[in-house]
Amino acid sequence: MRIVRIILTALVILILQVTVVHNVEIAGASPDLIIILLIALVMERGPVTAVIIGFCLGFLQDLGNASFLGMNALAKSIIAYGVSRFGQGFLPESILFRGFLIFAVSLVNDILVLIITTFSFIDILVGFFRFSLLSALYTALVGMAVLQLVKLATGRVVRPGGRY
CATH code, 79: 1.10.1760
The per-residue pLDDT for 136 is: 92
pLDDT given for residue 156 in this prediction: 58
User: For the chain, which ranges sit under pLDDT 50?
Assistant: none
**Which residue segment(s) compose the domain that 10 sits in?**
2-162
pLDDT at 91: 63
- Under DSSP, is residue 31 helix (H, G, I), strand (E, B) or coil? coil
> Which one, of 15, 13, 30, lies nearest residue 162 by Cα?
13
The confidence score (pLDDT) of residue 149 equals 82
Can you give the pLDDT at residue 147? 80
* pLDDT score recorded for residue 65: 76
Q: What is the pLDDT of residue 121?
A: 85
Supply the pTM of this predicted model.
Answer: 0.83
Contact between 128 and 115 under an 8 Å Cβ cutoff? The reply is: no
Q: Domains in the chain: how many in total?
A: 1
Looking at residue 15, its pLDDT comes to: 87
pLDDT of residue 14: 85
* pLDDT in the model for residue 140: 92
Per DSSP, the residues of 56-104 read HHHHHHHTT-GGGTTHHHHHHHHHHHHHHHH-SS-----HHHHHHHHHH
Q: Residue 125 contacts by C-beta under 8 Å, 6 or more apart in sequence?
A: none
Q: Which helix (H) or strand (E) holds 37?
A: helix 33-42
- Tell me what pLDDT residue 89 has: 62
d(CA 33, CA 70): 18
Neighbours of 25 (CB within 10 A): 13
